[in-house]
Amino acid sequence: MLLQFSIHNNIYIHVKWFSDNLDRVPLPFSRIITLTFLFWLAFTVLVLWFTSVIHTPLGRQKNVVHIHRWLDRIKPHTEIIMRTGLALGLSMQLLSGSYLAPEFNINSMWIILGLVGAVIFLFNKRTLPVSGAILFLLYVQAALTYGLFHAIDYLLYLGIVYYLFVSGTPLKKTAVAVMYICTGVSLAWLAMEKLTIPELACTVMGEYGLPTFGFSLENFVLISAFIEIGLAWAFIVGIMNRFTALLVSGVFIMTSLVFGHIEIIGHTIIHTVLILFLIEGVGNLRTPLQFHRSPLLRGLFVSVNFCLFMFGLMSLYIWMGKTF
């Protein structure tokens, strides 16, 4: 299964954290779509189809129900977990001289003050929207400095901003769904980097001597990209959310063992979001998958829309990569 590949520790390399050569532009469709590409696309679609079909029956298993009930008891504490993890992540960024991501360097005093203020305002529930506003301004600053094309990698921060803004309001029940979408798009955008500019990931893997487990370097990067976008789609439509969150978090932990402090700084806030997903599950709203009761309709919905999502996002990525 596609998910089995995700146990390897070099799948979620964030190339921009380890490569100084970011001048390459995305390849055109004619060079991306090959027989190998189509094979792994078909494989990914089949796995998504299968997981969408077993999603409900698996959730009814006695052991799974027991685990879900135990996690449901922790739900009242998710906000404090989110605030604590976010404060820790922002503090680590401040100490490392970066903000939001390891490659976004602090270059002005207002960014330092903003990070400090965002952390301080997280300690009081009433001031969470202030922290959200500061994070939004920092995201805008990153987009203006490094470009929107680069900033979309970290769209999950907009999900966090929304979570902080609606905390304590009736809209809080929508926060998890918004964060799933933002996190999913972030993962998918990173996958586009591997699909359209594979040389970047190949270069980093070659420099670090990472294993490819019998695949060629190019094929392994391609497989990694499909795993990433497959998991991203699982987040967006609501396929086995808790398992997916646990899976992604586990892989991030393994990458931290390989790449050290940069990965720890870059992934602390992401880990916090994934812990939130693990506890919350699908949240309080119906997921797109749940709008279809028939296994056949679910499989068709997931598969067809996955292809539309992937090729649509790839078109946008290629266009922005050549324009911005």
Which pLDDT tens digits describe the chain residue by residue (324 residues)? 333 333 333 333 455 554 555 557 888 999 999 999 999 999 999 999 998 888 888 888 888 888 889 988 999 999 999 999 999 999 999 999 999 988 899 989 999 999 999 999 999 999 999 999 999 999 999 999 988 998 999 999 999 999 999 998 999 999 999 999 999 999 999 999 999 988 877 666 666 566 666 777 788 889 989 989 999 999 999 988 888 888 777 776 666 555 557 777 878 898 899 999 999 988 777 888 888 788 888 889 999 999 999 999 999 999 998 887
> In the prediction, which pLDDT does 21 show?
54
Long-range CB pairs of 307-311, under 8 A, 24+ apart, other chains included? 307/41, 307/45, 309/188, 309/233, 309/236, 310/41, 310/188, 310/229, 310/233
Q: Can you tell me whether residue 75 is helix, strand or coil? A: helix
What's the domain count of the chain? 1
- Provide the residue range defining the domain that includes 273: 2-323
Which of 228, 242, 232 shows the shortest CA–CA distance to 275? Answer: 242
* CB distance 237 to 305 below 8 Å: yes
pTM of the model: 0.87
